[in-house]
Every structure is written in structure tokens, then in C-alpha cells.
Amino acid sequence: MDQERDKVVIVSQKTRLEGLLERFNTREQAKFWIEHMGLDFSDYDREHERYQAALAQVRRSLDGLLPKIQVIERGFLPSFVFSPKDLVVTVGRDGLVVNTAKYLDGHPVVAVNPDPLRWDGLLLPFTAERALPATRRVLDGKAGFYRITMAEASLNDGQTMLAFNEFMIGQRGHVSSRYSLSWHGKTEEQSSSGVLVSTGAGSTGWLSSTQNMAEAVAGLLLPGKAPRFPRMRLGWDDPRLIFVVREPFLSKGSGVSLGAGVVGPGESISLESHMPEGGVIFSDGVEADAITFTSGSVVTIAAAKRKTMLVAAETRVATAPRRRAGEARP
């Protein structure tokens, strides 16, 4: 058994019902509001009950497996200090894995889907019933892992941030952003609605929307002839990143030649802000946790040295999901 592990940390999340109770103070007021909006309040109850039952089952099954066990709610992650000896179990949606991963450094993550009938759970290979055998495999050294590449943003003032899916660099509110972008020895002044820098795990998410937009424009210009572009998708363990400039504007003072690219292993992309106010960098769609990116700020983005060690359902060492037929290999 892995003698380096001495504590199980279970990361939970609030249900929609708990969020409503925080907002409306009482269950009756929350129920009135939901039904007033024409929604089914009983669905909130069912979701909450299933989640709490799954969380309790995971807690009971893992109790005593290691000397210590601790349950923390997602909101406490920014102030929680993980020990190198912690084994992490998440119970919640895919977003909980994404949020938790950015606070870890090589910790194995057993990701539990608390309600498989409700959530597909691309990042959630285990049910509550399978949490114990999955955790035992980690301790016995028999677990397979997805080694998921993350991105890291480093600013010239010393601040850093990790992204599981992608970074968004631009103006708060997604209005016109001004900056200079440097990549592969070239620098270009740009004006756009922001720059996306995606990992392999994020390449099927926000990044894919930029391709959808390109296809829609092609369909408008070439009715009946619009090509179906290959998808830019990478495996979860791919060491490369993909950047795309959203809605770049061509003018006397801004160019569009560096509109997209692949940041290879050991490479980086950098941006210098030309925004007196409102410039931000945030990861994985969480704008509330943004870093300020205003005039004088320079950010360099590259693949992070840290990887998310997501425990796989298979006992052998897992490979990252493959691209589907017809997908592009950047």
C-alpha cells in the first residue's frame, strides 16, 4: 500500500437547492420563486437528495481507509492547503474536477459522478459505489491515470494562474480589447474581443465555438457550398496548446495575421496589455477569479509543468481520449 498517503480529502459542491436557500433564506420562499417561474421544484429536491446520498455513501465507504479523512466544500478551495500526502476524491460535476485540479500538484484525483442518470460526466469515471475500489487501486499502485495537460499564465508582476480548459485574455465584458501578441518571433498589435488559449481538454469546449462561427460565416458567403472544417481537437495529454483570436479587427493600427496558432512543447505565447482599465485574464470560464491585465502587464502562457492525475476506470495506465475520425491534427 502507498505509504505516502495519509489523508483522503473529499471535495463536495453545493446543490442547486442549497444555492436557492442561500439566496431566499427559506425553503418556502425558494419553492415559491421556482414555481412562480413555471419550473418544477421537486426536481431540485430530487437532485439534492441524490447528491447528499452519494456524498454520504462515499464518506462512509472511505472512512478508515487512511488515518485521516476530511470533507471540504468547493468554495473553500482557494484557502485550503493540500498536503503532498493527500489523496483527493471529488463528488460532483465535471466542473468540480476542473476547479479542484488547479489547486493540486501531482495528487491523484478519484472523480465520482453522484448522479449518473442526470450527468454524463466526461471527467467522472466512477459512481459512488466504485469510489472505494478506485481509491484502493491508487493506494495499491495499480491505478491507471489520465495525465491531463494544463496551461499556466505567468505575469511580469509575479502572479501566476493555471487553466484546465482554457484562458481568456481580454476586456471585462468582452468588448474591444487592445494588446500586442507575440508568437514565433513575431509581434502584432491587435484589437479583438479577446484571445482564447486552450488545452487539449478544453479543445472540445469554448475553442470549438470559434470554429462554429467560422463555418456559419462560410455558409453565409458560400450558400450550399460551405465547407465543413476539420475540428481542432487534441488529446487530454497532448503537451500543445491552441490559441485563437476572437473576432480580430483589421485597421491601420491592428492586424490579423497572428489569428490562431499551436503553441508547441517548450514554446509560449505572450501578450502585452494596452488597456488602461478593464483588462482581465481568467481561466475555465470563471471571470469572478480574474487577474487584472491592464497597461504595463505582460503575460506569458505555456503548458504547465503540473498535470492533473485523473484516476481512470481501467487498471492499466490509461491513454488520453483519441480524436474522432476526420478531426484535425494541428
How far apart CA 57 and CA 48 sit, in angstroms, is 14
CATH 3.40.50 placement within the chain: 7-143
Predicted local distance difference test score (pLDDT) of residue 325: 33
CATH of 150-304, one of 1.10.3760.10, 3.30.300.130, 1.10.357.10, 2.60.200.30: 2.60.200.30
DSSP labels, 10-53: EEE---HHHHHHHHHSSHHHHHHHHHHTT--HHHHHHHHHHHHH
User: Which of these, 140, 14, 132, 11, lies nearest to 82 by C-alpha position?
Assistant: 11
pLDDT digits (tens, 9 = 90+) for 87-108: 999 999 999 999 999 999 999 9
Extended strands (E) in 184-268? 186-192, 195-198, 241-245, 260-263
pTM over 0.75, yes/no? yes
pLDDT of the residue at 327:
41
Q: CA dihedral defined by 78, 84, 90, 95, rounded to 10 degrees? A: 50
CATH among 3.40.50, 1.10.10, 3.40.1090, 3.30.365 for 7-143: 3.40.50
The β-bridge relationship of strands 145-155 and 298-311 is: antiparallel
pLDDT in tens, 17-59: 999 999 999 999 999 999 999 999 999 999 999 999 999 999 9
Contacts of 212 (CB under 8 A, 6+ apart): none
Dihedral of the alpha carbons of 93, 316, 71, 2, in degrees to the nearest 10: -170
**Residue 302 is placed in which grid cell?**
505555456
Q: How far from chain centre, in Å, is Cα 163?
A: 6
Strand partners, 299: 155, 271
For every one of its 330 residues, what pLDDT tens digit does the chain have, with 9 covering 90 and above?
A: 555 889 999 999 999 999 999 999 999 999 999 999 999 999 999 999 999 999 999 999 999 999 999 999 999 998 999 999 999 999 999 999 999 999 999 999 999 999 999 998 889 999 999 999 999 999 999 999 999 999 999 999 999 999 999 999 999 877 899 999 999 999 999 999 999 999 999 988 888 888 888 888 888 888 877 667 777 888 999 999 999 999 999 999 999 999 999 999 999 999 999 999 999 999 998 888 899 999 999 999 999 999 999 999 876 555 555 443 334 445
203, three cell numbers: 479543445
Query: How many whole angstroms separate alpha carbon 179 and alpha carbon 297?
Result: 10
